[in-house]
Chains A and B, each alone.
Chain A
Amino acid sequence: EAAVTQSPRNKVAVTGGKVTLSCNQTNNHNNMYWYRQDTGHGLRLIHYSYGAGSTEKGDIPDGYKASRPSQENFSLILELATPSQTSVYFCASGERHAETLYFGSGTRLTVL
């Protein structure tokens, strides 16, 4: 079973502050993804990566940056957090051209 670990599980931030969400996977998957989940919107793709050093924009990248320093780690960075970024964020990983995405347990972010 693929293991995807997100940290922190919960985060409260202030408007204008910098927030970093971290994701680690231990199964050597090439692809990693960041989604946000909001009531009425389902899962929306923010950024994704095909391997270390690469990041790509997803469907809703504005206000977010991503970093993939290694095969195992993928971070989501909010340089200037806003209340509209209050959400539950999920990281996922998967093999290239593979059927299954493996999700972490999520990070609940509240921006006050």
Chain B
Amino acid sequence: QQQVRQSPQSLTVWEGETAILNCSYENSAFDYFPWYQQFPGEGPALLISILSVSNKKEDGRFTIFFNKREKKLSLHIADSQPGDSATYFCAASTGYQNFYFGKGTSLTVIP
């Protein structure tokens, strides 16, 4: 059973647009949700994260919106740049243990 689901599988936006990546989860016990960014040939790296006690987290052009009631969250990338082209993984954990990853969203930003 997939604990964390992501959509869309792939997304293409123009430079300057806002990219929206979606994530949902099953387990109500999850309390920490990191997003990882992965470039080809590299391992994933932490981009931004949120705790379930918050409904929004911003870091520069990256914002997480979190809806605990609906068990959904989304990553918004404002003013998308070609350098943002990567695969983005939503993950979830309880107490920072045993992270469960979604299948990823492949983002392409066209100049």
Tell whether A and B belong to one assembly: yes
A100 at interface (Cβ–Cβ under 8 A)? yes
What chain B residues lie within 8 Å of A94 (beta carbons)?
A: 96
Report the Cα distance A103→B102, complex, angstroms.
16
Asked if residues B103 and A42 are in contact (CB atoms below 8 Å), the reply is yes
- Interface of B toward A, CB cutoff 8 Å: 6, 32, 34, 36, 41-46, 49, 89, 95-104
What chain A residues lie within 8 Å of B34 (beta carbons)?
A: 99-101
User: Inter-chain contact count A-B, CB under 8 Å?
Assistant: 51
Q: How far is the CB of B58 from chain A (nearest CB, A)?
A: 17
Asked if residues B96 and A99 are in contact (CB atoms below 8 Å), the reply is yes
Report the Cα distance A43→B104, complex, angstroms.
9
Interface residues of A in 10-39 (CB under 8 A from B): 35
- Interface of A toward B, CB cutoff 8 Å: 4, 35, 40-45, 48, 58, 90, 92, 94, 96-101, 103-106
What chain A residues lie within 8 Å of B96 (beta carbons)?
A: 94, 96-99
Asked if residues B98 and A43 are in contact (CB atoms below 8 Å), the reply is no
Closest 5 CB pairs of A and B: A103-B43, A42-B103, A43-B101, A97-B96, A100-B46
Closest to A42 in B: B103
Asked if residues A101 and B104 are in contact (CB atoms below 8 Å), the reply is no
